[in-house]
Structure 1
Amino acid sequence: MWGVVLALTPVIFGLLAISAVFSAAETALTGASRTRMHQLEREGDRAAGRVNRLISDQETMIGAVLLGNNLINILASAVTTEVLTQAIPGAWGVAAATGIMTVLVLVFSEVLPKTLAILRSDDVARFLSAPTLVMVKVFGPMIWAIQWVVRRTLGLFGVKLGMEMDVLAAHEEIRGAVEYHHSEGLVEARDRRMLGGVLDLSEMDVSQVMVHRMSISMVDADLPVRELVAHVLKSDHTRIPLYRDNPENIIGILHAKDLLLAISEADGDMSKVSVDKIRREPWFIPDTTNLKDQLNAFLKQKNHFALVVDEYGALQGLVTLEDILEEIVGEIEDEYDNTVEGLRRQPDGSVSVAGSVAVRDLNRAMDWNLPDEPAVTVAGLVIHEAQAIPRIGQAFIFHGHRFQVVKRVRNRITALKISPPLEGAETA
């Protein structure tokens, strides 16, 4: 009898070792860095390629590993129970087998291999990718059947799942990683904002970053050329919209370089310059265009300037390539640019801002976190929160700051004073 026990002991420990491999594979493959695996695969690492294949269908991979692990654990427990009940007859043998296998499985088949896999996820995942891929192929049909039963069962309770399911959206996974590394001090605040800006492009419309039509510098196309030149020299921009009859009727874009070239070709005789011949066709885009699509359109058409219109074709503003890039890298300033216009810091830590200042510009300048979804401008945010047009002198506290209306022209809030973040105030 004891000879049988000794003979089967290596078998039991062999099964526990196989179970440990399954446990390590499950933990390592779910915790492996997808970014590093893709990079290694591009460099020719075949093991990383296998890891990527397994991760691409994570549900099937986990199902195959769990199925194999459970089969091995049950078999090991059954063999142990059979052996010990022969040595220790009755319920005591079953109890002894249960206690011994619980300790062995917990320590050597679960905690130990999973701890190692957590510490060296990428290396363990690459090392175990080949046997795991074999297991997925062997148990694949059975796993699909199990998945079908699970989905049917969950469907009875109103939970609808497709046969393929992405556990984490890629953007949210990247954003979470950036936030985590920033909290650990491994990513600087500026880099964090830049990475976040890239991820935000597809979630923002051009209406959120455009220059509002009230702030557009435009010029009447019927003005004498000498006056056009004076207007161009005063402007901070090289491209200026041209209108005829009324500012809503945009007929083209005047580029400073085209104007100077035309004057040069006319030997300085401005009377020979025709604005209609040098103006460029305006590019109109809907205000619902997201920034990612517009950035691609700018690059594709080699045009850095577009006019934004609403669904009725009415002019809403203009957007440039620089406006979109500033959402990623922050304010781009040259020798003609100022800091954020309409913003002035006060000695007590508060800021005086014009109502037309964009919330995102204020956040970047002050490193604040005011929401920019409800409204584009600071004045719009105050009106949204107050649900009314406040009077001069009225003050409100929301999103952790105190907002006081300083100036108002008719129904427009033109100036506000905003406090630094208040201690103990709600920021949401």
Structure 2
Amino acid sequence: MIVEQIGEVLAEHWLTILAILGLIGVSGFFSGSETALTAASRARMHSLETSGETRAGTVSSLIERKDRLIGALLIGNNLVNILASALATSLLLSVFGDSGVALATLIMTLLLVVFAEVLPKSWAISTPDRFAMVVSPVVKVFVLVVGPLSSFINWIVRKIMALFGVTFASETSMLTAHEEIRGAVDLLHREGSVAKTDRDRLGGVLDLGELEVSDVMIHRTSMRMLNAEDTSEANVRAVLDSPYTRMPIWRGSTDNIIGIVHAKDVLRALADAANEPQRIDVTKIAQKPWFVPDTTSVPDQLNAFLRRKAHIAIVVDEYGEVEGLVTLEDILEEIVGEIADEHDTEVQGVRQEADGSVVVDGWVPIRDLNRALDWSLPDDEATTVAGLVIHESQTIPEEKQAFTFHGKRFIVMKRDRNRITRLRIRPADKL
């Protein structure tokens, strides 16, 4: 009896049933297209486009305005879903009476979830780039037709959001390119596809734009310098004993830097003087110093180094007083990590203890500590670990004082006058 009734329904309403099935298929097309186009790799599309793949160019043009694209696809998806549900409800009402509403709701929910959502989206997400290129010509035509309506709806949405204090520019992406790259690299690192060192190097490149030379410079208290008033023998010996190839030289005051002495120039002068250092005047072979403001951005300083073919610059504050020096190597180390050669001396700034704590010298940069231990201490308000403790505590702590912030317990081990010289850091949950 039921089979005969179903056969009569199919024979009488076959056109409506085909229309419903077709609309479900169109809904699946919209759902899969939305998933594929939003998941497609812009870098991959750009590479294919330069290789002559025209459909990749179509995908790139569509995802340049994601709000317009998604709005158009959602309009199309909801339109066909509502129409399919209305037809199914009308059909089942005519056959089963009032109970047809419940049947239509149950059947259409099942069909739409399986064939218009889960199946096409799973298919699209498995090969998003290929799927996106296949559907892009049709989607482009649809967006051209429905695009104005999508833009109008997006305008209404923005106005409504503005009433709640949420504003965003239409030309601004919700995620910047740097954030997308950083998020992808972090995710791949957690999955084990990217090594920590590679993640740190990529993160260093992305972070350069947020840094100033004052964040990466060698502070004046750590600078190795020559005194022009010392004997020639002492200055030559200081250059030869130094692990650095370039050293500033001052006269009268350390704020009065009069030149940069290069070890190669000293060796050349020493050879010309028949290995008699007392005949050498290091001030005459010193190169002219280059002074840069402490607020110079690191990318600008890197470009300036490359443009001037220089390796070292003296960093000064707004009053012209020397704050430190920055080298090309300092900037490169922000990307690749610590660079050591056979003449470098190892600095014991961070030491792991058996109890799980870490003993850190106060001058250690926060960025270096984060990179070494895979921590995430903030470096917006302070450059060194000691500076972070002073900033957070709003005081200059005494020895043995302890503070807890950012998930860590900081214990001041040693203080020299107003400088914190050594701290012990341990996780806050292991006190």
TM tier, smaller: 0.7 to 0.9
User: Partner of 1:16 in structure 2?
Assistant: 24
Aligned equivalents of 2:375 and 2:117: distance in 1? 46
- Residue 287 of structure 1 and its aligned partner are, at CA, apart by 1.4
1:227 aligns with 2:234: yes
Q: Partner of 2:3 in structure 1? A: none
C-alpha deviation, 1:364, in angstroms: 3.9
Counterpart of 2:129 in 1: which secondary structure? Answer: helix
CA distance in 1, matches of 2:317, 2:298: 16
Residues 390, 147 of structure 1: alpha-carbon distance in 2 compared, 3 angstrom cutoff: closer
The whole-number CA distance in structure 2 between the counterparts of 1:150 and 1:398 is 40
1:338/1:364 CA distance change after superposition, 3 Å? farther
Deviates more, 1:321-330 or 1:402-411: 402-411
How far apart are residue 212 of structure 1 and its match? 0.6
Q: Within the alignment, does 1:292 sit opposite 2:299 as a pair?
A: yes
Change (3 A) 1:387 1:153: closer
Note if contact 2:232-2:279 (Cα within 8 Å) is conserved in structure 1: no
Distance 2:234 2:148 in 1: 78
Does the alignment pair 1:145 with 2:134?
no
Q: Which region of structure 1 is more displaced relative to structure 2, 303-312 or 226-235?
A: 226-235
Name the counterpart of 2:69.
61
SS at match of 2:13: helix
Do the aligned residues in 2 keep the contact of 1:63 with 1:143 (CA within 8 Å)? yes
Matched, 1:246 2:242: no
Residues 14-65 of structure 1: CA distance to partner in whole angstroms, max 9, x if unpaired?
2221221111101111122333333333333332222221111001111111
Separation in 2 of the partners of 1:422 and 1:97? 57
How far is 1:94 from its partner?
5.4
1:421 matches 2:431:
no
Residues 347/141 of structure 1: CA separation in 2 closer, same or farther (3 Å cut): closer
2:382/2:391 contact within 8 Å kept: yes
Letter in 2 for 1:143: S
Structure 2 distance, partners of 1:116, 1:346, is: 51
Distance 2:386 2:105 in 1: 70
Q: 1:229 to 1:398 in 2, by over 3 A?
A: same
* Change in CA separation of 1:56 and 1:403 when aligned onto 2, cut-off 3 Å: same
Aligned residue type for 2:318: E
**Cα gap change, 1:415/1:27 in structure 2, threshold over 3 Å: closer, same or farther?**
closer
1:200-349 to structure 2, matched below 5 A, reads 200-265=207-272, 275-349=282-356
Separation in 2, partners of 1:122, 1:184: 21
* Conserved 8 A contact 1:396-1:402: yes
Instruction: Give the Cα–Cα distance (whole angstroms) in 2 for the partners of residues 377 and 127 of structure 1.
Output: 53
Q: In the alignment, which of 364, 378, 382 is matched to residue 371 of structure 1?
A: 378
DSSP-derived class of the 2:247 partner: strand
Residue type at the aligned position of 2:169: G
Instruction: Tell me, yes or no, if structure 1 residue 51 matches structure 2 residue 54.
Output: no
- Amino acid across the alignment from 1:25: S
Three-state SS of the structure 1 residue aligned to 2:202 is helix
Q: Which moved more, 1:41-50 or 1:270-279?
A: 270-279
Distance 1:359 1:151 in 2: 40
Show structure 1 runs of 5+ residues with no match: none
Judge which range, 63-72 or 124-133, deviates more.
63-72
Asked if the contact 1:12–1:80 (Cα under 8 Å) also holds between the matched residues in 2, the reply is yes
Identity of aligned residues (%): 54
Cα distance, 1:353 vs structure 2: 3.8
Question: 374-383 or 246-255: which moved more?
Answer: 374-383
Mark the CA change 1:333 to 1:19 in structure 2 (over 3 Å): closer, same or farther.
same
Stretch deviating more after TM superposition (131-140 or 93-102): 93-102
Residue 24 to residue 367, structure 1, CA distance change in 2 (3 Å): closer
Deviation (angstroms), 1:332: 0.8
Residue range with higher mean Cα deviation, 240-249 or 382-391: 382-391
**1:160/1:421 CA distance change after superposition, 3 Å:** closer
Normalization by structure 2: what TM-score?
0.87
Distance 1:359 1:370 in 2: 7
Which piece of structure 1 moves more, 125-134 or 375-384?
Answer: 375-384
Q: 1:12 to 1:393 in 2, by over 3 A?
A: closer
* Per-residue CA distance 1:75-113 (angstroms, 9 max, x = gap): 33444455555x438645555545443333332222221
| Structure 1: distance between partners of 2:32 and 2:264 | 65
Q: CA deviation at 1:240?
A: 1.0
Name 2:184's counterpart in structure 1.
Answer: 177
- How many angstroms does 1:115 deviate by? 2.2
- Match status 1:115 vs 2:118: no
The answer to whether structure 1 residue 7 and structure 2 residue 15 are counterparts is yes
Whether the 8 Å CA contact 2:410–2:426 is kept in 1: the answer is: no
1:130-169 mapped onto 2 (5 Å cutoff): 130-169=137-176
Distance in structure 2 (CA, Å) of the matches to 1:84 and 1:343: 74
Instruction: Read off the aligned partner of 2:22 and give its amino acid letter.
Output: G
Counterpart CA distance in 2 for 1:345 and 1:146 is: 58
Report the more deviating stretch, 254-263 or 234-243: 254-263
Query: In structure 1, which of residues 387, 394, 401 is the aligned counterpart of residue 401 of structure 2?
Result: 394
TM-score, with normalisation over the residues of structure 1?
A: 0.88
1:35 — aligned with what? Answer: 43
Question: What is the deviation of 1:120?
Answer: 2.5
Cα distance between partner residues in 2 of 1:69 and 1:400:
46
1:395-414 aligned at under 5 Å gives the runs 395-414=402-421
Kept in 1, the 8 Å contact 2:28–2:117? The answer is: yes
Considering only aligned residues, what root-mean-square deviation do their CA atoms show, in Å? Answer: 2.8
The whole-number CA distance in structure 2 between the counterparts of 1:377 and 1:84 is 72
* SS of equivalent residue, structure 2 residue 244: coil
Q: Structure 2: which 5+ residue stretches go unaligned?
A: 1-7
Match among 69, 72, 79 for residue 71 of structure 1? 79
Between the aligned partners of 1:316 and 1:61, the Cα distance in structure 2 is: 52
Shift of 1:12: 2.6
Tell me how far 1:424 sits from its aligned partner: 4.6
Number of aligned residue pairs: give it: 423
Structure 1 residues 154 and 385: CA distance shift in structure 2, 3 A = closer
